[in-house]
Structure 1
Amino acid sequence: MSILSRLRHSFLSRHRHRHFSTSILSPDSTTPLSSKQKTRTAISLIKTEKNPERILEICRAASLTPDSHLDRFAFSLAVSKLTAANHFDGIRRFIDELKTRPDLRNERFVSHAIVLFGQASMLDHAIRTFKETEDLNVNRSVKSLNSLLFAAIAAKNYKEVSRIYLEFPKIYSIEPDIDTYNLVIKSFCESGSCGAVYSVLDEMDRKSVRPNATTLSTFIGGCYKEEKFEEVGKVLKFMEERYGMYPGLSTYNVRIQSLCKLKRSKEAKALLEGMISRRRKPNSVSYSHLIHGFCKEGNFEEAKNLFSQMKKRGYLPDSDCYFTLAHYLSEGGDFESAFEVCKESMAKGWIPNFTTMRKVVNGLVSVEKFDDAKDLIKQIKGKFAANSDRWDEIEAAIPQ
């Protein structure tokens, strides 16, 4: 091929790529999208797309990188959908293709690629990517080692976590840091082996690596998961005596959440009240865990009381707290309370999902609150045009 032909071929390829990107992300617009607009459009398209190859095309068109949180979310969403579709070869091809991009020849991308393979339970490819970093002219450090440990945890391959932890630092001359040890502790706690954490703490002592709040919270969470309630007190005492560490807010929240998961929400509430009596301030997360816990146990009055108390004390509920309460109240038949929660949530711009909103609307109709049901539908249609046809049908069935 002559130089002129190669230049012409290169120009046409670039031109086709620009047309390809525009046609997928903004078919009706002639104005180029900014990087952030591309990502937001890609996320919206990926959420509804069912064709795996089309999902990959959307990602390519958006030219995603791991440099921004939004792009990382888009990557993760795409891999989740491809994994659900068992399109593992597509994941491998796409990530391997990204490795050839000059702008992604760095440890940040390699580390992110390792995590994505772990998310897809493709741990062999995550390990391969870790090993080939030097072939990509990328320096290998504790950052990529920690990404590999995280990938193994995401894949729930706890045996591999132990092997990587024991072998790779020696093979690749990498010195573990606090994040390395916390990931190994997380693995032991998730796999029901929290007793092994003491050996990791001994290793940290030998390497002069001091535990932090994450170490303590993870260890405590593991004890609760195994329902070793007496061990919780022993761990707290051990950490205090050995390291001078005292439980902070993050540890209290882990304890509250752990008790709620075990359907011991009354004990979790007592823990919160004890915390307040000792002049330790909770936060909105503390209350959200309790509200979720009481909802799961069917104690909606307690959940509503905590929601009210939370706001009175100046702790602002987040969108998940509103959505959780609306969902469980509607499931429990308290449609009027669910309606009030939905209205308050929507006033903040947070709209519960279609299933929850339909349940609330149908529930309001069942208790003859027709005007409230219509009001809710009107607000929803004003926010979302996409489901307007479905809401028109529901509205048409409401008695006049």
Structure 2
Amino acid sequence: MASFKKSRFLSITRSLYATAQAQTLTLENTIFATTKSLTQEQQALSATETRSPTLQQQTPSATEAESLTLEQQAPSATEADTLILEEQTNITLKNARSRIRSAGSPEEAFEVFRKASKSPRFRHDRAAFSAFVQKLAGYERFDLIEQALESHKKPPFSLMEGFIIRLILLYSEAGMVDKALDTFYEMDELECPRSEKSFSATLSGLLLNKRFDDVHRLFDEIPNKFDISPTVFTYDIIIRAFCEEHLLDSAFEMLGKMEKIGIKPDVVSYNTLIDGFLRAGDQTRVDELLKEMTEKGCAPDLVTYNLRILGFCKDKESVKAQALLEEMRSRGIRPNSRSYNAVIFGFYKEGNLEEARRVYESIPKGDESPNSGTYFMLIQFEIEHGNYETALELCKKSIKRKWIPPFFTMKSLIDGLVKISKVDEAKAIVEEMKKKFSGSAADSWMKVETTISL
């Protein structure tokens, strides 16, 4: 289950994200119940944006050849739906995914998946496959996951590497690593050519599940056994594995090994190492890596800067992090919401709310407008400092954009407004919340309403 819950590597359904840690309701937890703490931000960056061992960028979706084959097999959408409807169900290709997600039991989800699978077109719905695996893994019904996925290895389905990769990923997401390995080794039997892509998928699945020894064993064995030539993507996975094992020197040595065989380290290679050394607090090695990558023509990207920003903020050097925002702009790299939010949070942690506000005000309107996390942080910060009217204005802007702050934050704001005799404003918020919610959530707001003085 732990491996499954870490499945944000499936960004195929966006992925290797760490799950939210259960903590007490401190300010930091309140904010990052919806937005990540600095540590979690760094995990998210290293897990996804660095393209480190995840497969989002390494692993293809179904190849063009697979797609062509499936298209040739597949009937029209109407015919496909009819195939399913002939079983006298209400399942269609359009609603299969939602039916899986809303299923009340693993057996019900399995039945929906089984019936939808009768249409070859269903295989194109990667999100439905992922939803099915997530659903059943939550119930720990690994037997049904295996039964469902294995059925897609049999006739009348044709198997191309892209689809096999998806099965490897799905098994890995569910924590069924041995089945992922079996699938990789079965490719000859299934008459499906294997390449570095399926090899990388398998390594990534092992890494996701912390099977470090197997990662290194396969990296040593598979290239010769199956005549596969590792690429920079493969090496990036190995670098990430060493970093997660805290074997940073071994990770760094991979750069030299890559260059010896003519593989040029890419920005992901360097970002992964930078992330590792930042976590270890080794700024000297970070500076050396930054210098080396620039000298070798590997320009820092958004991820490189975000990692550095997070590192400075973590070390309470938010002024340096703020300077990086300017440097990014001067180099034509647009800071994103992670960049700004990290600096805002960093200044707040240092007790510099005024500078946090300036960063917020400096965010360009448009693509990089403040996001929900920005508003939620600032609202909470202003409340903590007793600036209830400022918090109210931010709250209104957030709600206007359909971003409702956490209940705890809203309740604190209402209490603060009542405290400074802004009862009408407090009541107005409650009324708006009552309109936006129903059920138990609306009941909670009605209880809040009774606490407001007339």
Residues 318 and 343 in structure 2, CA contact (< 8 A), matched pair in contact too: yes
Residues 133 and 355 of structure 1: is their aligned pair in 2 closer, same or farther, counting only changes over 3 Å?
farther
Residues 93 and 122 in structure 2, CA contact (< 8 A), matched pair in contact too: no
Please point out which of 192, 198, 204 is paired with 2:246: 192
Alignment of 1:58-97 (within 5 A): 67=124, 71-72=126-127, 75-76=129-130, 79-80=133-134, 82-97=136-151
Please point out which of 367, 371, 380 is paired with 2:424: 371
Specify the alignment match of 1:127 in structure 2: 181
Indicate the SS of the match to 2:189.
helix
Specify the alignment match of 1:222 in structure 2: 276
Residues 168 and 202 in structure 2, CA contact (< 8 A), matched pair in contact too: yes
Specify the alignment match of 2:167 in structure 1: 113
Specify the alignment match of 2:342 in structure 1: 289
Residues 156 and 302 of structure 1: is their aligned pair in 2 closer, same or farther, counting only changes over 3 Å?
farther
Please point out which of 39, 43, 63 is paired with 2:97: 39
Structure scoring higher RCO (CA < 8 A, sep ≥ 6) equals 2
Indicate the SS of the match to 1:349.
coil
Specify the alignment match of 2:308 in structure 1: 255
Alignment of 1:181-330 (within 5 A): 181-241=235-295, 243-261=296-314, 264-275=317-328, 281-285=333-337, 286-295=339-348, 299-311=352-364, 315-326=368-379
Provide the C-alpha distance between the structure 2 equivalents of 1:376 and 1:102, rounded to a whole number of angstroms: 58
Residues 192 and 225 in structure 1, CA contact (< 8 A), matched pair in contact too: no
Residues 164 and 377 of structure 1: is their aligned pair in 2 closer, same or farther, counting only changes over 3 Å?
farther
Q: Which amino acid aligns with 1:346?
A: I
Residues 99 and 302 of structure 1: is their aligned pair in 2 closer, same or farther, counting only changes over 3 Å?
farther
Provide the C-alpha distance between the structure 1 equivalents of 2:149 and 2:384, rounded to a whole number of angstroms: 41
1:75 Cα offset (Å): 4.7
Provide the C-alpha distance between the structure 2 equivalents of 1:356 and 1:59, rounded to a whole number of angstroms: 40
Indicate the SS of the match to 2:277.
helix
Residues 173 and 274 of structure 1: is their aligned pair in 2 closer, same or farther, counting only changes over 3 Å?
same
Residues 103 and 221 of structure 1: is their aligned pair in 2 closer, same or farther, counting only changes over 3 Å?
same
Specify the alignment match of 2:200 in structure 1: 146
Indicate the SS of the match to 2:230.
coil
Q: Which moved more, 1:367-376 or 1:127-136?
A: 367-376
1:202 Cα offset (Å): 2.5
Residues 336 and 102 of structure 1: is their aligned pair in 2 closer, same or farther, counting only changes over 3 Å?
farther
Equivalent pairs, count:
368
Provide the C-alpha distance between the structure 2 equivalents of 1:356 and 1:76, rounded to a whole number of angstroms: 33
Please point out which of 227, 235, 245 is paired with 1:173: 227
1:228 Cα offset (Å): 1.0
1:230 Cα offset (Å): 0.3
Residues 239 and 251 in structure 2, CA contact (< 8 A), matched pair in contact too: yes
Residues 65 and 104 in structure 1, CA contact (< 8 A), matched pair in contact too: no
Q: Which amino acid aligns with 2:276?
A: G
Residues 327 and 356 in structure 1, CA contact (< 8 A), matched pair in contact too: yes
1:350 Cα offset (Å): 3.2
Structure with a larger share of its residues in helix: 1
1:91-142: CA deviations, max 9, x gaps? 4344334545855733323212222322333322221121123333433222
1:43-81: CA deviations, max 9, x gaps? 5x37xx6x544555565577696745xx43x55455456
Q: What RMSD in Å do the two structures reach over aligned CA positions?
A: 3.8
Please point out which of 328, 344, 354 is paired with 2:397: 344
Residues 271 and 149 of structure 1: is their aligned pair in 2 closer, same or farther, counting only changes over 3 Å?
same
Q: Which amino acid aligns with 2:97?
A: T
Q: Which amino acid aligns with 1:303?
A: A
1:399 and 2:435 are equivalent in the alignment: no
1:19 and 2:84 are equivalent in the alignment: no
Residues 178 and 333 of structure 1: is their aligned pair in 2 closer, same or farther, counting only changes over 3 Å?
farther
1:224 Cα offset (Å): 0.5
Provide the C-alpha distance between the structure 2 equivalents of 1:327 and 1:65, rounded to a whole number of angstroms: 45
Indicate the SS of the match to 1:149.
helix
Residues 58 and 246 of structure 1: is their aligned pair in 2 closer, same or farther, counting only changes over 3 Å?
same
Q: Which amino acid aligns with 2:336?
A: S
Provide the C-alpha distance between the structure 1 equivalents of 2:206 and 2:351, rounded to a whole number of angstroms: 36
Provide the C-alpha distance between the structure 1 equivalents of 2:376 and 2:158, rounded to a whole number of angstroms: 38
TM-score between both structures, scaled by the size of structure 2:
0.67
Provide the C-alpha distance between the structure 2 equivalents of 1:324 and 1:52, rounded to a whole number of angstroms: 38
Structure 1: 5+ residue stretches without partners: 1-11, 22-32
TM-score between both structures, scaled by the size of structure 1:
0.75
Provide the C-alpha distance between the structure 2 equivalents of 1:184 and 1:357, rounded to a whole number of angstroms: 45
Report sequence identity in percent: 33
Residues 158 and 187 in structure 1, CA contact (< 8 A), matched pair in contact too: yes
1:246 Cα offset (Å): 3.3
Indicate the SS of the match to 1:350.
coil
Q: Which amino acid aligns with 1:283?
A: P
Residues 362 and 104 of structure 1: is their aligned pair in 2 closer, same or farther, counting only changes over 3 Å?
farther
Structure 2: 5+ residue stretches without partners: 1-81
1:229 Cα offset (Å): 0.6
